[in-house]
């Protein structure tokens, strides 16, 4: 054991001396690893960021909220079975709430109706087109975590009377009110004046997924009055020809009992729709998890493909290390012979060259990591919306990858060196 430590120490010294005396060569070889590690690390941060972006977007949906919709939140092959389903009506919410109120120990808390449409919003000279405009009730705050940067969400009275008030997303506020507070200002939505009562805190967007930043919310009564025909359940042809999308979201009491809550809601919905027992559900009940299980494979594919492609650059770096270690073995054949004559065992020689290749990789990995860190920092500054995440786990992972690269790429040459016949090696010129 002691002997092993001494040999290890000696190997480190040789590796350091070797790198010092072949500065150019070592630098160029390490460069391959540096680039490889930068690529892999950046990809790692991007993959991390994508995951966080997904989760963030998903959190808008809430993990304790069920969504009653016409279409399920997953790809379906038999789309024709869903196409002709009845639309979800906002009135269902009221009926559901009524049943919830009458059910003791209900797993559900409250149902909230939502209708949405893409609208243009203007304030004086500024206009934003295609804003996701949501009509809902004041209960909406129960189902969704909304932080107001300024002001508040509309209250129950405004909700019930269909007051012309609006809560706007961060990006909308930014576009319409670049230099003033939007609170109590009047914006035009579809030619109607709405008073801004609240501005949402910035949430950040990612890959065009759902975000509060680019939407506005108004009381459902006002929404129905101005943006849809009398019966919201119809395929509503509004003045601009866009379709109103209505859903009902239901807050669950305990998210651990989501399945029970889902069953209860299914029963309630069947009552609301008046379905006979032999008929299949003509609606879908979704939760965040369903959405997630659709997105996760995409996320994993991106991660796998990205890491594979960037891994190739690290592979090229590893080949460089292998090559230089072979050269080093060749150049120092006589030295290997001498060491063997002096009593170095195979293991000693193997260790020596493995340490050389590994320390070169580790050095490259370390430099690569520092460069990647600053690049992440730069990218974060330049594109704040891109979720890039530099974690400690990533540091550890890339160091481990560096060491493994060194060990794997150094093994073949080191093995060759350790197997050299001392007589042949000593005679080598």
Partner 1 sequence: MDGRQSVRAVGPVVIDIENITKDYVMGEEIVRALRGVTLQIRRNEYLAVMGPSGSGKSTLMNMLGCLDTPTSGRYDFNGRNVKDMDDDELAAIRNREIGFVFQTFNLLPRANALRNVELPLIYAGIDPETREERATQALNDVGLGDRIHHKPNELSGGQRQRVAIARALVNSPSIILADEPTGNLDSKTGEEIMALLEHLYQRGNTIILVTHERDIAAHARRTIHLRDGLIEMDHAGFIPELDLETAATT
Contact residues for partner 1 (CB under 8 A)? 2-3, 6-7, 10, 13, 17-18, 21, 334-335, 337-348, 421-423, 426
C-beta of 10: minimal distance to partner 1 in Å? Answer: 5
Task: Write out 341-406 in H/E/C secondary structure.
Answer: HCCCCHHHHHHHHHHHHHHHHHHHHHHHHHHHHHHHHHHHHHCCCCCCCCCHHHHHHHHHHHHHHH
What's the chain's length in residues?
Answer: 429
Q: How far is the CB of 6 from partner 1 (least distance, A)?
A: 5
Query: For the residues of 77-132, what is the DSSP string, one character each?
Result: S-THHHHTSPPPPTHHHHHHHHHHHHSTT-SEEEEEEEEEEEEEEEETTEEEEEEE
Nearer to partner 1, 262 or 340 (CB): 340
Contact 220, 90 (CB under 8 A): yes
Strand ranges in 141-191 using DSSP code E only, listed in sequence order = 148-151, 165-168, 186-189
* Nearer to partner 1 (CB atom), residue 404 or residue 423: 423
* Complex with partner 1: residue 4 or 308, whichever CB lies closer: 4
CB atoms closer than 10 angstroms to residue 293: 11
CB of 337 to partner 1, least distance (A): 8
SS3 category, 64: coil
Nearer to partner 1, 124 or 345 (CB): 345
Closer Cβ to partner 1, 360 or 376, answer by number: 360
Residue 381's contacts (CB-CB under 8 Å, 6 or more residues apart) are none
Residue 284 pairs with which residues in a beta bridge? 69
- C-alpha span between 14 and 235 (Å, rounded): 78
CB of 358 to partner 1, least distance (A): 19
Report the residue number, 157 or 423, with the smaller CB distance to partner 1. 423
Q: How far is the CB of 24 from partner 1 (least distance, A)?
A: 16
> In whole angstroms, how close is the CB of 428 to partner 1 at the nearest point?
11
Q: How far is the CB of 19 from partner 1 (least distance, A)?
A: 11
CB nearer to partner 1: give 28 or 341.
341
Q: Do residues 68 and 285 make contact, with C-beta atoms less than 8 angstroms apart?
A: yes
User: Whole-number minimum distance, CB 427 to partner 1, in Å?
Assistant: 8
Instruction: State the pairing for strand pair 108-123/165-168.
Output: unpaired
**Residue (102 or 342) nearer to partner 1, CB:** 342
Please name the residues in contact with 93: beta carbons below 8 A apart, sequence gap of 6 or more.
111, 112, 113, 137, 248
């Amino acid at each position: 054991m002691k002997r092993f430590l001494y040999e290890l120490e000696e190997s480190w010294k040789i590796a350091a001396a070797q790198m010092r005396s072949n500065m150019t060569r070592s630098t160029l070889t390490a460069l391959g690893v540096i680039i490889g590690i930068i690529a892999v690390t950046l990809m790692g941060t991007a993959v991390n960021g994508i995951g966080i972006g997904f989760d963030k977007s998903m959190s808008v949906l809430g993990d304790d909220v069920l969504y009653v919709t016409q279409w399920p939140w997953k790809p379906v092959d038999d789309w024709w079975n869903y196409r002709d389903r009845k639309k979800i009506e906002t009135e269902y919410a009221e009926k559901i709430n009524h049943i919830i109120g009458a059910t003791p120990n209900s797993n559900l808390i409250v149902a909230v109706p939502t209708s949405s449409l893409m609208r243009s919003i203007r304030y004086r000279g500024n206009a934003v087109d295609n804003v996701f405009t949501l009509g809902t009730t004041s209960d909406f705050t129960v189902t969704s975590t909304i932080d107001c940067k300024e002001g508040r969400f509309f209250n129950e009275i405004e909700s019930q009377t269909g007051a012309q008030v609006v809560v706007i997303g961060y990006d909308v506020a930014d576009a319409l009110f670049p230099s003033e507070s939007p609170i109590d200002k009047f914006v035009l939505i579809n030619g109607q004046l709405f008073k801004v009562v609240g501005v949402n805190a910035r949430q950040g967007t990612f890959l065009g997924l759902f975000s509060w930043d680019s939407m506005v919310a108004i009381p459902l009564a006002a929404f129905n009055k101005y943006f849809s025909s009398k019966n919201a359940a119809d395929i509503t042809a509004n003045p601009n020809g866009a379709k109103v999308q209505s859903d009902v979201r239901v807050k669950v009491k305990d998210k651990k009992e989501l399945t029970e809550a889902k069953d209860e809601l299914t029963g309630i919905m069947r009552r609301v729709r008046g379905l006979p027992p032999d008929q299949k559900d003509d609606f879908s009940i979704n939760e965040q998890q369903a959405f997630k299980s659709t997105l996760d494979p995409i996320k994993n594919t991106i991660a796998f493909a990205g890491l594979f492609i960037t891994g190739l650059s690290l592979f090229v770096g590893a080949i460089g290390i292998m090559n230089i270690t072979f050269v080093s073995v060749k150049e120092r054949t006589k030295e290997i012979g001498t060491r063997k004559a002096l009593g170095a065992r195979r293991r000693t020689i193997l260790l020596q060259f493995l340490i050389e290749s590994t320390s070169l990789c580790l050095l490259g990995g370390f430099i690569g990591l520092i460069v990647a860190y600053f690049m992440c920092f730069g990218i974060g500054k330049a594109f704040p919306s891109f979720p890039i995440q530099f974690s400690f786990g990533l540091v550890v992972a890339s160091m481990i990858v560096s060491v493994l690269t060194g060990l794997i790429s150094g093994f073949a040459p080191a093995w060759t060196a350790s197997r050299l016949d001392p007589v042949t090696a000593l005679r080598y010129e």
